[in-house]
Structure 1
C-alpha cells in the first residue's frame, strides 16, 4: 500500500488548494499500475473539495492523507472543527455553496466522517480505481 501525508496551511494562502491537488497528482503518478484517467480526475476533485472545505470551515489548517487500497484510493482530510459536512440545497444564485459534499458523495464509492477524541474530525472518501 502506498501512502502520503501532507499538512496544508495556511487557510489564506492563495495556492494551498492548488498545492494539495499537485500533491495528489504526484501521488497518483507514482503508481506502478496507473489508475484510469476518470478515477484520477475524481481523486483530484475530491482532494480539492475536501481541502477547500477544511481550510474554510475547519480552523485554518488541515492534513491530507492519501492511501491506496486494492480497489481504490482513499482521500482523508483531518481538521480541527468537530462539525461534519452536511447535505444542503445548492445555492444557485447567492454563491454560498452547497455543491461540494453532494459531489464528493457522487464521486466516491464510500464516504465517512469520524470525530476525533482530541477534537476535530476526519472526512474520508474512497474513490474506486
Structure 2
C-alpha cells in the first residue's frame, strides 16, 4: 500500500470561478495518488464527485468555495464542499430523489450523479453558507 496513511486529508480554497472545477478535479487526482491503495480503484469516481459538487457551488453560490478530502483508513473517502449559499432545500431534495432538475435550461444531473456514486450524501447548514458531504466507500466495503 504505497502512499497509504491511516488518515489522509487535503483542503483547497477556490475562487468560485470557471477555473475552480478543473483545479479541484486535478487536486482530487493528486490526493488519491497520495492516499494510494485502495483508493486508486475509485479515483475517477472521487474526481467526478468533486467536480460535480464544485460545479454546483460555483453555479449557485457567489464567491469562494472550499474542498476538503479525507480518507478514514481503508473504509471511506469523504468529500466536502463548502459554499456561501445557505439554501439547503434543493440539495436535500435532489440527493433524495436523484431526479434531474428539468427546470434548468441545462444541467441538473450533478447531484443525482453524486448520490449514485456515494454511500451517503449529507447537507449541513453552516454559520455562513453550507457544506455538502459525500461519503464514498472503498472497494469491497458495503
Q: Cα RMSD (Å) of the superposition?
A: 1.8
- Give the direction of change, closer, same or farther, for the CA distance of 1:51–1:31 in structure 2 (3 Å limit): same
Tell me whether 1:96 sits opposite 2:106 in the alignment. yes
Contact 1:5 1:65 in 2 (8 A): yes
Query: Gaps (5+ residues) in structure 2?
Result: 1-6
Say if 2:114 is the partner of 1:108: no
TM-score by length of 2: 0.79
In the TM superposition, structure 1's runs of 4+ consecutive aligned residues that sit over 6 Å from their partners are none
Tell me which protein shows more helix as a share of its residues.
2
Q: TM-score, normalised by structure 1?
A: 0.86
**Contact 1:108-1:125 within 8 A present in 2 as well:** yes
Quote how far apart the aligned CAs of 1:32 are. 4.2
Specify which of 24, 28, 35 is matched with residue 24 of structure 1: 28
Say if 2:16 is the partner of 1:6. no
Deviations 1:53-75 (A, max 9, x none): 00111222100000101311100
The aligned counterpart of 1:122 is: 131
Ranges in structure 1 where 5+ consecutive residues have no aligned partner? none
2: distance between equivalents of 1:69 and 1:97?
32
